[in-house]
A and B are shown apart, each in its own frame.
Chain A
Amino acid sequence: SAVISQKPSRDICQRGTSLTIQCQVDSQVTMMFWYRQQPGQSLTLIATANQGSEATYESGFVIDKFPISRPNLTFSTLTVSNMSPEDSSIYLCSVAASGVSPLHFGNGTRLTVT
């Protein structure tokens, strides 16, 4: 399965600032997604990162708050903009090799906003 490197692994940020999270995969993948896991909760899909085009956002998530880039088939970034304490969560990059294969997840970025 794909090896996914996510950076940073954790960060503590001040309210009103932005953080960009990077996701690097060791092989080309068709599908790449960004999920959020709030403390003690399940995972919620933020968006599908589309190679060479704008990301597809789920209900409740907007591009101005969570801009995403995917310049090629092995790399994506998620930015959490104008952060508030409510953005404190684990952000997870995930990839799938095909339409039926399971998602594989990076180790996540644990974000704390103070």
Chain B
Amino acid sequence: ELKVEQNPLFLSMQEGKNYTIYCNYSTTSDRLYWYRQDPGKSLESLFVLLSNGAVKQEGRLMASLDTKARLSTLHITAAVHDLSATYFCAVDTGTASKLTFGTGTRLQVTL
């Protein structure tokens, strides 16, 4: 059974600081997705990583994928309050886009 773990589960950081969220998964996969969820809202797709070494950046967020280590990272640069949300990674099990979601990381950016 595929397991997807994120750490930390909760992250409180000050504006302007940098930090990294980690996503580890237990079986081979070369497709990984990052999503954002605001409180009371649905999920918004952030990044699609489709191969080993893939790196995607959007604004203050950068995601990378190391399929050999079964690890993806979401790096936050110079955090701002608007980035406060819960972030999920999700791994494609290889069967018709079925995704297994990570535990989620709740990010709180304080002034």
Cβ–Cβ < 8 Å partners of A31 in chain B:
96-97
Question: In chain A, what residue has the closest Cβ to B31?
Answer: A100
Q: How many residues of A contact B (CB 8 A)?
A: 22
B102 and A104 contact, CB distance less than 8 A: no
The A contact surface, by secondary structure, is loop
> What CA separation (Å) do A108 and B101 show in the bound complex?
16
Contact of B96 among A48, A105, A107 (CB under 8 A): A48
A96 and B100 contact, CB distance less than 8 A: no
Scoring B residues 31 to 73 as 1 if CB is less than 8 Å from chain A, else 0, what string do you get? 1010100000111010010100000000000000000000000
Cβ–Cβ < 8 Å partners of A43 in chain B:
43, 88, 90, 101
Nearest CB of chain A from residue B52's CB, rounded to whole Å = 15
How many contacts A-B (CB < 8 Å)? 50
Nearest CB of chain B from residue A102's CB, rounded to whole Å = 4
Nearest CB of chain B from residue A76's CB, rounded to whole Å = 15
Interface residues of A (CB under 8 A from B): 1, 31, 33, 41-45, 48, 92, 96, 98-108
7 of the cross-chain contacts (CB-CB < 8 Å) are: A31-B97, A41-B104, A42-B104, A45-B100, A99-B96, A100-B97, A107-B41
